[in-house]
Amino acid sequence: MNIKLKQITCAILFHIMFSTFLSFAQTIYQPNGLQKKVVSGIQLDLATVTMKDNDGNSLDAPTFIQLMQSGKYSMDSYVNEQDQVKEIVLRPKQDGETVKNVRQISGNTLKDELETIRMKDQALRMLIMPGGCIEKTYGSDSEEYKYFILLMNQEDKKNQEQAVKLINENGWPGISQVGERANNGLFLVMQHAPVDVQEKYFPLLKESAEKGESKLADMALMDDRIRMHRKMKQLYGSQTVIIKGKSYVWPIEDAKNVDERRKSVQLPPLSDYLKLMGLCYPQDELPDELFFLNR
């Protein structure tokens, strides 16, 4: 009798557990018509991407960022037939799980680290870029927008610390060592670093670019940014500033030969570049801030 009772009890428990499992499985949201794909970094227009939780409920950008920062969730990306990311779904982490789905694991640890910090550098910037979803939703003067700027600055600091550590241990990793994307990721992180950090490591980037191991254009952009921060005229015309709500091209040294210099570092003509931003050079009615330059 006891044996039979135990058998019945086990059967009931198994039924309950199996039913619970099916119920749980049915609540896990899966986007229709999209394919799950592991992405290496995030290059997408987040304003066109739907963000959802594990049950398929839509998430706004602040909630999405807050949940990701909690460390309790990982992220699944879903693409359409054109390989464009259309939905991002947050999944609760299992015990001991690490976030591996935001990048591909290549077996090259240095490459993976650089691609990860590239993703971290770009993700928040895509949210707050001019015309992006945060600005459209809240406005550039809102507390929400300022909060995202704060998050970006905090993330930048952590990325820069990691990047400096990697450079000190490995030099400036070249394209042949880590690939173009990871190499560019290091440039992007250092391009957003304080100017004294940029000046310290710029010679390594320059040497790498001259060997064909980094992009000459990346070298030119960092050169211009250092010059702008030091109140010197730039060489390639890549840097612009916003003063009192209006955009200006930072003054250019020997402007008549700028296109020749730009061509030497594989940049398009200055007029084509500025046309994308609705700017031109030379420019009139420069604000006082652009006249305090070191000669």
Per-residue model confidence as pLDDT tens digits over 198-240: 999 999 999 999 999 999 999 999 999 999 999 999 999 999 9
Q: Is 267 within the bounds of a domain?
A: yes
Question: Do residues 128 and 200 both lie within one domain?
Answer: yes
Average pLDDT for 157-162: 95
| 3-state helix vs strand vs coil in the chain, percent to 5 | 55, 10, 35
The predicted pLDDT at position 68 comes to 65
Among 51-65, 179-193, 198-212, name the one with the lowest average pLDDT: 51-65
Question: What residues contact 280, with CB distance under 8 A and at least 6 apart?
Answer: 271, 274
Q: Are 266 and 231 in contact (CB under 8 A)?
A: no
Identify whether residues 207 and 117 lie together within a single domain. Answer: yes
Last residue of a domain, one of 214, 245, 262: 214
Residue 228 lies in a domain: no
- Biggest CA–CA distance in the chain, Å, is 100
Q: Answer yes or no: do 162 and 183 share one domain.
A: yes
What DSSP line would sit under 70-117, residue for residue?
TTSEEEEEEE-TTS-EEEEEEEEPPTT----TTS---S-HHHHHHHHH
Q: What is the pTM of this model?
A: 0.66
Preceding omega of 203 cis (within 30 degrees of 0): no
User: Which positions ≥6 away from 36 have C-beta within 8 Å?
Assistant: 76, 77, 78
Residue 44 pLDDT greater than 80, yes or no: no
Residue 290 has pLDDT above 90, yes or no: no
Q: Domain for residue 221, yes or no?
A: no
Q: How many residues does the chain have?
A: 295
- pLDDT of 102 higher than 50: no
DSSP per-residue string spanning 189-236: HHHTS-HHHHHHHHHHHHHHHHTTSS-HHHHHHHHHHHHHHTT--BSS
Q: Note whether 204 and 215 are within 8 A (CB).
A: no
Whether residues 125 and 144 share a domain: the answer is yes
Residue 239: both structure tokens together: 């840097």
Mapping DSSP to helix (H, G, I), strand (E, B) and coil, where does residue 100 land? coil
Closest by Cα among 28, 66, 32 to 50: 32
- The answer on 137 and 95 residing in a single domain is no
Closest CA to 218 of 247, 195, 184, 176: 184
Q: For residues 93 and 45, state if they share a domain.
A: yes
Give the total number of structural domains in the chain: 4
Q: Work out the average pLDDT over 92-113.
A: 59
Report helix angle 195-210 to 143-170, nearest 10: 50
Q: How far is CA 103 from CA 74, 249, 264, in A?
A: 11, 36, 34
pLDDT digits (tens, 9 = 90+) for 233-272: 999 999 999 888 889 999 999 999 999 999 999 999 999 9
What letter would DSSP give residue 93? P
Domain range for 70: 32-102
Residue 56 belongs to some domain of the structure? yes
AA identity, residue 202: F
Q: Where is the domain boundary, 59, 79, 102? A: 102
Q: Are residues 38 and 71 in the same domain?
A: yes
